[in-house]
């Protein structure tokens, strides 16, 4: 079984309870197909970045599911056919987790191969640097000019 992130945008014409009912339909489809729902989060009604079908808001719902690809394909097919779902996106998340873990291991190995940095030169006082002393300005008498 693979891990997927699914986000569905439900039309704002529905009330909050009706949007929850739509989400529960897809939750039932997933669980009946043998999927394990890891997270089920209603994100509520939010403003869209751009209008979709002349609608500026939508009810967002997020699922994190461990399932077979066929179940996810069936859920996406039904979301595509539904008039109540404006948009949906299903992304395979386990690949990203594998890549992130692999990159972390590579960075640790690279850090171990890298030679240690030489210590920074020690300053006399770690405070702010004093301003350089100004040179005295010679008077006209010292320059040898007539007064």
Claim: this prediction has a pTM higher than 0.75? no
Average the pLDDT over 89-104 and give the result. 88
Average the pLDDT over 23-28 and give the result. 94
pLDDT of residue 17: 93
Of residues 131 and 37, which shows the higher confidence score?
37
pLDDT of residue 9: 95
CATH 3.30.70.60 at 2-97, yes or no: yes
pLDDT of residue 135: 67
What is the Cα–Cα distance from 43 to 9, expressed in whole angstroms?
10
Rounded to the nearest integer, the mean pLDDT of the chain is 87
| 59 neighbors 45 (Cβ within 8 angstroms) | yes
pLDDT of residue 32: 93
pLDDT of residue 50: 94
Q: Tell me: pLDDT of 124 over 60.
A: no
pLDDT of residue 146: 63
Write a three-state SS string for the chain: CEEEEEEEEECCCCCHHHHHHHHHHHHHHHHHCCCEEEEEEEEEEEEEEEEECCEEEEEEEEEEEEECHHHHHHHHHHHHHCCCEEEEEEEECHHHHHHHHHHHHHHHHHHHHCCCCCCCCCCCCCCCCCCCCCCCCCCHHHHCCCC
């Amino acid at each position: 079984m693979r891990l997927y992130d699914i986000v569905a945008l439900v039309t704002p014409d529905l009330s909050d309870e009706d949007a929850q009912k739509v989400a529960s339909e897809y939750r039932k489809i997933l669980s009946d197909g043998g999927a394990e729902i890891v997270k089920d989060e209603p994100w509520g009604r939010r403003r869209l970045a751009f209008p979709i079908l002349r609608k500026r808001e939508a009810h967002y719902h997020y699922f994190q599911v461990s399932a077979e690809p066929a179940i996810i394909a069936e859920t996406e097919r039904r979301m595509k056919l539904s008039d109540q779902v404006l948009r949906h996106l299903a992304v395979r998340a386990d690949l990203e987790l594998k890549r992130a873990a692999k990159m972390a291991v590579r960075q640790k190995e690279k850090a171990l191969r890298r030679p240690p940095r030489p210590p920074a030169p020690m300053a006399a006082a770690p405070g702010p640097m004093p301003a350089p002393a100004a040179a005295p300005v010679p008077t006209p008498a010292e320059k040898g000019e007539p007064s």
